[in-house]
């Protein structure tokens, strides 16, 4: 495949994926508009898709991509686009909603070589698609169209960040809604070809695999990273979280209660009560033995990152009053 053919293939793949996401999002919005009940409130309606921007109750209609990617500023929190690195055999991920993508082919080069950097961006409101312009830093000069391909030749591993903004105006759509989308991608750069001379020892990622470039310039797989690889290191799992509850938490002496617990990002959990009750499992529900005094149940969970988290539930006993 020539470099021109490969360049055109990358650009076509990026545009196809963004247009597919735009089509699916717009289709969901149009269906909602067609079947939503009417209202007497004055509404903005797009002539292109006959889409009203307020529901029967007056609430803003939130697109299917929320909350992870807002349709416009302030509608469902902070947001923006995403991006990633790819190699020549792996297509870039499909962005959700308004977003941009940066991808490379190949994803790892040797210092002095070049790689294709491809990008594509998308932004629409009420089915109206906007033209995009933006910048990619570092080393990509000038104002860029919303999609394209160029070549880069960094001397070291470099993260490229793109910021693309919708341009133009549409009556009824405030300029404040036309918010930028941001994405980034990292191109790995090795110091020299494997086995050709003296190299500095450096770790680098290729997909979810962590490699190390040795002093003799050979590359060795250190480990596979189940939670992803970034900046020359495996990404650690999220810390554990856990809870334990007693229902009811107030009983008469001699009664029992139910203890329920659960956890996330944990490898094991145990529950122990001050009355001798004991259970295990990352989540569960058990009936206690008879409660005669205030009893504390303690949950201890070990996380996938080997840290621990604890929580407690206290069961109290209703006091008995006697005449004296």
Q: Where do we find the tokens 């962005």?
A: 95
Domain presence at residue 204: yes
Both 144 and 69 in a single domain? yes
CA distance 238 to 299: 19
Both 80 and 164 in a single domain? yes
Both 11 and 27 in a single domain? yes
- Higher per-residue confidence, 107 vs 194: 107
What average pLDDT does the chain have?
Answer: 75
Domain presence at residue 323: no
Domain presence at residue 36: yes
The count of structural domains within the chain is 3
Task: Quote the domain boundaries for residue 225.
Answer: 191-235
Both 76 and 161 in a single domain? yes
- Render pLDDT for 134-143 as a digit per residue (tens, 0 to 9): 999 988 888 8
- Render pLDDT for 49-89 as a digit per residue (tens, 0 to 9): 333 333 333 333 334 433 333 333 333 333 333 334 444 44
CA distance 148 to 101: 11
Both 156 and 278 in a single domain? no
Confidence class of residue 3 from pLDDT cuts 50, 70 and 90?
Answer: low
Both 207 and 64 in a single domain? no
How high is the pLDDT of residue 69? Answer: 35
Both 228 and 132 in a single domain? no
DSSP string covering 88-117:
TTSPPPPPPSSEEEEEEESSEEETT--EEE
Confidence class of residue 253 from pLDDT cuts 50, 70 and 90?
Answer: very high
Reduce the DSSP state of residue 3 to 3 states and report it: helix
CA distance 17 to 295: 58
CA distance 138 to 133: 16
Both 13 and 121 in a single domain? yes
Judged against a pLDDT cut of 50, whether residue 198 lies above it is answered with: yes
Both 171 and 265 in a single domain? no
DSSP string covering 111-155:
TT--EEEEEEEE-EETTEEPEEEEEEETTEEEEEESEEEEEE--S
Both 24 and 165 in a single domain? yes
CA distance 293 to 165: 65
Residue 154: name the closest of 176, 137, 179 by CA: 137
Judged against a pLDDT cut of 90, whether residue 127 lies above it is answered with: no
- Higher per-residue confidence, 32 vs 204: 204
Both 35 and 133 in a single domain? yes
Q: Rounded to two decimals, what is the model's pTM?
A: 0.41
CATH number at residue 252: 2.60.40.10
Domain presence at residue 282: yes
Say if CB 127 and CB 170 are below 8 A apart. Answer: no
């Amino acid at each position: 495949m020539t470099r021109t053919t490969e360049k055109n293939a990358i650009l076509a793949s990026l545009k196809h994926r963004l247009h597919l996401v735009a089509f699916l999002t717009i289709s969901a919005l149009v269906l909602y508009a067609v079947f939503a009940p009417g209202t007497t409130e004055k509404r903005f309606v797009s002539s292109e898709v006959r889409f009203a921007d307020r529901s029967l109750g007056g609430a803003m209609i939130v697109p299917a991509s929320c909350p992870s990617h807002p349709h416009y500023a302030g509608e469902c929190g902070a947001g923006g686009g995403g991006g990633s690195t790819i190699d020549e055999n792996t297509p870039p991920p499909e962005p959700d909603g308004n977003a941009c993508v940066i991808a490379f082919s190949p994803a790892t080069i040797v210092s002095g070589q070049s790689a294709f950097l491809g990008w594509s961006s998308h932004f629409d409101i009420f089915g109206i698609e906007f033209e995009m312009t933006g910048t990619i830093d570092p080393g990509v000069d000038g104002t860029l169209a919303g999609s394209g391909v160029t070549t880069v030749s960094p001397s070291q591993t470099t993260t490229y960040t793109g910021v693309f903004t919708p341009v133009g105006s549409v009556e009824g759509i405030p300029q404040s809604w036309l918010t930028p989308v941001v994405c980034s991608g990292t191109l790995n750069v090795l110091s020299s070809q494997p086995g050709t001379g003296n190299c500095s020892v450096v770790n680098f990622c290729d997909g979810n695999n962590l490699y190390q470039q040795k002093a003799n310039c050979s590359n060795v797989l250190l480990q596979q990273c189940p939670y992803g690889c970034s900046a020359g290191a495996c990404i650690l799992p999220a810390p554990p979280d856990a809870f334990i509850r007693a229902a009811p938490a107030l009983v008469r002496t001699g009664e029992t209660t139910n203890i329920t617990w659960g956890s996330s990002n944990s490898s094991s959990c145990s529950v122990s009560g001050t009355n001798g009750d004991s259970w295990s499992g990352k989540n569960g529900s058990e009936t206690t033995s008879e409660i005669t005094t205030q009893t504390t149940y303690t949950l201890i969970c070990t996380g996938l990152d080997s840290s621990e988290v604890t929580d407690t539930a206290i069961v109290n006993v209703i006091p008995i009053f006697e005449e004296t």
